[in-house]
Structure 1
Amino acid sequence: MRVAAFKVGGADRYDPYKTFMFRVMWDGAYVAGLSKMGPLKRTTTPVVHRDGADPARERKSPGVTKYDAVTLERGVTLDVEFEKWANLVHSLNNPQSLTGFRKDLIVDIFNEAGQKVISYKLNRCWVSEFQGLPQLDAANAAVAIETIKIELESWERDVAWVAPAET
């Protein structure tokens, strides 16, 4: 029995891409030390209606599409980019300043050779939740993780990106 191959850049690929080979970019630079990203998920609400000529059956049409928030996690370091972005939405010094608080993000997926193969754009993102430190526990030797939860208006795959040929 032959396993179906995926055609990628002119080469056959039998394995799906790994989830640990990714990078997230904002403001033209990759986010330092990012270790985890939540899923890209969208849901379209069905609108149920009935046709008077066919009262025994209900019809469904697409309604409003909702894009779920995405969580980004990384180990706590001296880099303050998560906090600086979160502070644009909520600042103790100037709570009314919302200039530049939205960013477009790029999510790049890489193959085992380190070549970019898939790219997504997340549109009009802003930070709705920021966790600067996790619960601290002297009896646990875990890495301290900081987290931001971003709201977004949409996401789309960059279909113009062509995956390189795999050898």
Structure 2
Amino acid sequence: MALPELDTSVGHSFGLEMDGIVIKQISEVSGLKMEQDVIELKQNSPDGKYMLKKLPGRPKAGEVTLTRGLTEDTSFEKWVQDSQFGKMSSARKGGAVIVYDYEGNPLKRYKLTNAWPKSLEIGALKAGDTSVLTEKLVITYEMMEVE
């Protein structure tokens, strides 16, 4: 049976959707990862030989880093402040990282469960520099699903 020919995706732009609010100006996403523990089962086979079996364990929580150009939008700062001041009921959110094609149509969604901001980093500030100022938001999450 022949495998289907599928076009590979080119991530033209990225967005973050949290509680219905979409921020489409994300320029870089790194660290999206689904991972789980590995359980090693050591046993002897019926003929007495040593065997090592690997079994799937619990899913692991993860972190994703989002980078965008610095703007007047203060949504990242407000979200980080909620978590810093212990307002976890408003800081913990459900949402998704969205990959868009060149026409702005969503290609894939990476749904994040119980996500909250771990840190916010502003890029280097250098007088006379012509590079774009950026902000990096690190979000920790309990579970990720691909939709």
Given the two structures, how large is their TM-score scaled by the length of structure 1? 0.75
C-alpha displacement at 1:139, in angstroms? 4.5
Q: How many residues align?
A: 144
The structure 2 residue matched to 1:36, chosen from 28, 53, 63, is 28
Match of 2:118 in 1: 128
Considering only aligned residues, what root-mean-square deviation do their CA atoms show, in Å?
A: 2.3
Which structure is higher in strand share? 2
Letter in 1 for 2:109: S
Q: Percent identity at matched positions? A: 26
Equivalent residue for 2:107, pick from 103, 117, 138: 117
Q: Which residue does the alignment assign to 1:148?
A: 137
CA 1:55/1:45 → structure 2, altered by over 3 Å: closer, same or farther?
farther
Higher helix share: 2
Task: Determine which of 65, 70, 79 is the counterpart of 1:71.
Answer: 65
Decide which of 23, 26, 38 is 1:46's aligned counterpart: 38
Map of 1:57 onto structure 2:
51
Which secondary structure state, in structure 2, belongs to the residue aligned with residue 99 of structure 1?
helix
Deviation string, structure 1 residues 117-142 (Cα, Å, up to 9, x no partner): 322311110011111x2221124211
Select 2:83's aligned residue among 70, 77, 89: 89
Q: What residue ranges of structure 1 are gaps of 5+ in the alignment? A: 7-14, 159-167
Residue segments in structure 2 that go unaligned for 5+ positions in a row: none
TM-score for both structures, normalised by structure 2: 0.84
